[in-house]
Structures are given as structure tokens and as C-alpha cells.
Structure 1
Amino acid sequence: MKLATLRNGSRDGELVVVSRDARMYMSASAIAPNLLDAIERWQAVAQPLQALSDELNASRVAAARHFVPADCGAPLPRCYQWCDASAFLNHGRLMERAFNTPPIPDFDSTPVMYQGASDDFLGPYDDVALPCEADGIDFEGEFGVVLAETPMGVDADSALGYVRLVVQINDWSLRSYGPREMKSGFGFLQAKPSTSFAPIAVTPDDLGAAWNNGRVSMNLHVSWNGQWFGHPHGSEMNFSFGQLIAHAARTRRLSAGTIIGSGTVSNAARANGSACIAERRVIEMIDEGSARTPFMRFGDRVRMQARLADEHSGPFGVIDQRVVKAETDRRAS
């Protein structure tokens, strides 16, 4: 089952069911007004939503309309909690070198995770307004899961049973703030502006074999200003989503709608490219002695789409965004 959120002037948008080929959609507002409400009442709404999806895919819904991804916000325009990990150890080790930080103890055995802002997620085609090019504007392609209410102390195997949806993410970063905030011991704040999402959230069963052992086994294709940047594969995720969920829930329960991110998709094979600029830059430093690739400038575009090796489209749709200069207003309203 595929779900999306159409903008309708409200803060949380309108929940719709999307056809398997992502060509058509049908409003699900009679079942749940928005996706956050649906996640909170999943036991009650999952069957009616699936029935609507089955009808739509069988072309038996007369009121079906053409699906326009640009009309979508993030599947969850806001939620109660967004926790992002660094589950691809290849990326984490490269970032240690990029930021010149000491190795994290138990990095290979215990996930690292920060709590990001979850009040203002961006849609797949939204312009990304940021204050300054000198901040080191970077994209980060990753995957994520949306959870039902998850109990404290859940183990990694049981944790996957609380995954309701899988999503594709661009976790924007401002690299100039990263080193100081990492060394402060308090985690990211200014280094992490609002996060972007592909238009479609997918139930794990709809991914078939691509949902494997708590990982999204798909290539994440990334292009920057129309040029190939990378297509790393999600199967090299060192910690599964089950392990990440168990880590986040070790000392507290997780509210319905919590999103857990994988961190930047990263492969050991250099030929697969990268899903963020910082990773390419540190590889250049290692291989060539200095970083040559600049960070993003205003007007730049980044496009991301997760696809199977033999496909030209993907289940989540596309993130295609332009970076623009923010118009700031410091006056209190």
C-alpha cells in the first residue's frame, strides 16, 4: 500500500492512497483525515485503507484522480519525533576523518543517533531556503521508517513489527556548523535544517524482496545539477532498522508517528559514488590530497530516487529540489 499527503491548506494535509504504478490516487479522508491520525489509529484504519488501495489498483474507483507528486507535502508534514542514525559505518568512518574527530567508542557495535527537528518537514519539490552559501550546504540521501507506538525496551527482532511505513529522505546538512556541534557533546542543531521526504510512504510488504532483514535493498540514485553523483545500495546498512528502533527505545517508549532514519546511504565501493557531498570531499582528500568538490550554491538542484537495479522508477517517487536564499525576518509577530 502506498500513501501520500496532498497539501490542502491545513498543517497536516490530506491523506490519499496512491496506486501501485503511482499514476492515480484516491482521497482517504473519510477513513483518516491525515497520515499522523492514521498511524495513531492504525489497527482501526489499516484494513479500510488496504481495501481502498485494492480497489484503486483494480481500477474500480470511479472518483480516482491523476497523482501529481508536486502537489504533495512530506508524507508526514510533522510528527512528534525524528531520530536519525548513522547506520552505514563506511560513511561514519569517513565523516570522522572529514571532521577530524576522535573515533566514537563502540561505533561498530552501538548505533549513534541524534534527535532532529520534526516540526517542519519539506515536501519533495519544495525549494530549500537557507541563509548562507558559506554554511556548507549539503544533501544526504537516506531511508527511514515510520513507527506505531513502540514500547520501551523492545528488542531488535520484535522492533520490526512496529514499522508501519518506509520512506525516502533527504536530510539536509550545513557542514560548517557540524564540527563545533559534534565536539560540544550536545548534538546537531544549526547544522540540521528542515528534512525533506519523497512523496510516497510505502508499507513494508509493498516493497517485496526489497525490504530485507530490516533494510531497504535498493539503489539510491542521486544527481546534482543533472550530473550523476552516486547510486549507493541500502543493503550495506550495518545496523538494521530493528537495531536502530531498539536503540532509540532502550529507555523510553516511542510515540506513534516517530520516524527513524538510516543516515546517509554509503557503500565501500567507490564506483557506487556517494549520497552526500561531504563524503565525496573526504574521499578526494584521501585519494588526491585535497577536496575539490564544492558544497551547494543557491540555484543548485539535487534529485534522488530509490530504484531496483532493473527499474527506471521507484516506489517512493522522486525528491527534486532547488536551494534558494532564505528571506529572513527577525521581527517578532
Structure 2
Amino acid sequence: MRLATVNDRLVLVSEDAQTCVPAQSVSLLAALRGGSYAPDGDALALDPAQCAAPLPVSHTFLDGSAYVNHVDLVRRARGAEMPERFWTDPLMYQGCAVFEAPNAPILADPAWGTDFEAELAVITGDVPCGASPEEGAAAIRFVTVLNDISLRALIPDELSKGFGFVQSKPPSACAPFAVSPEALPGWDGARLHGTMCIDLNGKPFGRVQTGEGMTFDFGQLVAHAAKTRALPAGTVIGSGTVSNRDAQGGPGQPVADGGLGYACIAEQRTVETLAHGGPRTPFLTEGDQVTIWFEDTEGNRPFGDISQTVKHRAGHD
């Protein structure tokens, strides 16, 4: 099953993504709460550019860091050591539960160090408090792709307060489609295997493998989130930035140098610093174009594309 939200209405998307049919439930959240996904109307032409996020507003967004290589690299960039326990105990923060459309502009202040982060996310049904990883995986109803925007220049000061992200994590943009796990050929029950593709200004920036280097699978992330609370249907849990090491265990190489590249600018800047003594790739500036999509193991794009242009935030010089 593949779903989208068009004109504030939940729709079922055809296999070729050319048409859609309204669902009986008006929203994905209503369907997850016991409504119906059954069709309710005639087929209509579908333009992915008219799609909102499949779940435009949730009640809970919890973003993890399943790819610990990413955590290691971005902490190196700000001179912070990575505790050994990060390999056994997932990082997770509570983010903004409003999700932007796949073509929404990225509003940026030049001083904020605006970065994209390409990641997978799952949408759950009800999850009981204290759920096991197996129960967590069984509660996953849909998978999608996020661009989790990070304002890198704001993060160090905010984290130094010891109370987590707020200003440095604005709303994420979401791919146009959410897909049920059984419809994804690379889904193994808790991980999705395939390629996360990122282009920056029309050039390949990342071709990272989502099934590789995922220290914590989605079942473990859901269980971590549910340790002391029940998760209501419609909870969104992100994987964190997809990140791969190279064959020698190093941080990998940019696409331009024959590597898989990266799913965020911060990782490439860290590698440039290690190799050259300083970063060479700037953070996002006005007019930059970021395109993110996932290719499954059969070469398809089941979630559609996120395509965003950076715009100067009004009122800030």
C-alpha cells in the first residue's frame, strides 16, 4: 500500500504513481487510529508536486541516530568525544512533529549553518509501554523518507545547555509517499535495504546504503522510544542520517572521489577537515537545490522525491 495526502485528503496511490483514489479515512492519522484505507471515489490524476507530507501533522516525532558513524563524524566536527555506550544505547531526541511538503523551501539564515540530513522514517500503530524490539518492529505500519534540517551553527550552544535540540531543528520535509513495509522489496522486518540518493545543485552528493552500518534497527528504535511510555498510533520515528563507513572502516569518500558520499554536508566537511586541515564544502546558501530520493533493490523510487530550494529567511540579513 502506498499513500499520500493531496488537498488535505488521504489518497491511495497507484503502482505507477500516475493516479490516486481518495481513501475512506480523511487522513493518515485517522486511518491509523482505526479508520479505513478502503477506496472511496474515482481515480484521479496524481501530481506529486501537489502532495503534502503523507502525515503533515503528528503528535510525536522521535528522531534517532541509528547510523553511529554519523554521530562519530559530526561530534568530531565540533570537537566532542563520542562515548563508547553510543554503540549500545541509541541516541534519540523529540523533534518538531509538523512535516513540510516535499517541495517546501528551506528557509535559511546565512549565519545558521543550514544542512540537509537524508534519513528513513517509520510511522507506527499503537505501541505498548515496554515493547520489545520484536513488538516494535511489528508495530511499524509505513515507511517514508525525511529531510531532517539541521542548523549546525546553532547546535553547539543549544546542546551545551544540556537540554536537547529546539531552535537548531526546524520542521523536516517528507517524501510525497508513505509505503507499507510489505510493499518494499528491501524490507527485512526491521531494516530497509537500498540506496539513499542525494543530489546538491544537480550533482551527486550521496549514494549511501540504508541497510549497511545501521547499528540499531527500527524495531530497536521503537522499543527504545517505548521504554517508559506507550506510543500512540501515528508516532514517527526517524533513523537519523544514513551513513556508511568505507571498506577499510574509515569515514568514506565523497562521490566525486569515487566513494558513496554522504547524506549531509557536515560529514563531508569533517572528512575534508581530516584530509586537508579544514572544510571546503559550504553549508547551504540561497538558491541551492537539494534533491533526495530512495532507490529500492529493484531500482524503483517508492517514496518519490524530495526537491527543495534554499531561500533566505525574511527579516534576517
TM-score category (smaller protein): over 0.9
Tell me which amino acid in the other structure corresponds to 1:164.
R
Q: What is residue 38 of structure 1 aligned with on the other side?
A: 31
Q: What is residue 179 of structure 1 aligned with on the other side?
A: 156
Q: What is residue 17 of structure 1 aligned with on the other side?
A: 12
SS in 2 for 1:168: strand
1:99 corresponds, among 78, 89, 114, to: 78
Which structure's residues are more often helix, by fraction? 1
Q: Does 1:235 align with 2:211?
A: yes
Aligned residues of 1:4 and 1:199 also touching (Cα < 8 A): yes
Q: TM-score, normalised by structure 1?
A: 0.88
Give the Cα separation in 1 of the matches to 2:168 and 2:60: 18
Q: What is residue 141 of structure 2 aligned with on the other side?
A: 164
Unaligned runs of 5+ in 1: 8-12, 53-60
Q: What is residue 95 of structure 2 aligned with on the other side?
A: 116
Give the Cα separation in 2 of the matches to 1:279 and 1:89: 12
How many residue pairs get aligned? The number is: 304
Q: What is residue 281 of structure 1 aligned with on the other side?
A: 269
State the 1:285 CA deviation. 0.9
Q: Does 1:292 align with 2:280?
A: yes
State the 1:232 CA deviation. 0.4
Give the Cα separation in 1 of the matches to 2:207 and 2:102: 19
Aligned residues of 1:16 and 1:25 also touching (Cα < 8 A): yes
Q: What is residue 55 of structure 1 aligned with on the other side?
A: none
Aligned residues of 1:213 and 1:240 also touching (Cα < 8 A): no
State the 1:308 CA deviation. 2.8
Matches within 5 A, 1:190-209: 190-208=167-185
Give the Cα separation in 1 of the matches to 2:189 and 2:178: 19
Tell me which amino acid in the other structure corresponds to 2:306.
I
Q: Does 1:327 align with 2:314?
A: yes
Give the Cα separation in 2 of the matches to 1:281 and 1:321: 21
Q: What is residue 58 of structure 1 aligned with on the other side?
A: none
SS in 2 for 1:280: helix
Aligned residues of 2:296 and 2:302 also touching (Cα < 8 A): no
SS in 2 for 1:286: helix
Q: Does 1:145 align with 2:136?
A: no
Q: Deviations over 1:97-147 (max 9, x none)?
A: 0121232351000100000011x31000111223x1110010000000001
2:59 corresponds, among 80, 84, 89, to: 80
Give the Cα separation in 2 of the matches to 1:180 and 1:212: 39
Unaligned runs of 5+ in 2: 247-251, 253-258
SS in 1 for 2:146: strand
Q: What is residue 222 of structure 2 aligned with on the other side?
A: 245
State the 1:66 CA deviation. 1.8
Give the Cα separation in 2 of the matches to 1:162 and 1:310: 25
Q: What is residue 56 of structure 1 aligned with on the other side?
A: none
Q: TM-score, normalised by structure 2?
A: 0.92
Q: Does 1:5 align with 2:5?
A: yes
State the 1:16 CA deviation. 0.3
Aligned residues of 2:193 and 2:297 also touching (Cα < 8 A): no
Q: What is residue 316 of structure 1 aligned with on the other side?
A: 303
SS in 2 for 1:216: coil
Percent identity reads 40
State the 1:310 CA deviation. 5.2
Aligned residues of 2:137 and 2:189 also touching (Cα < 8 A): no
State the 1:278 CA deviation. 0.3
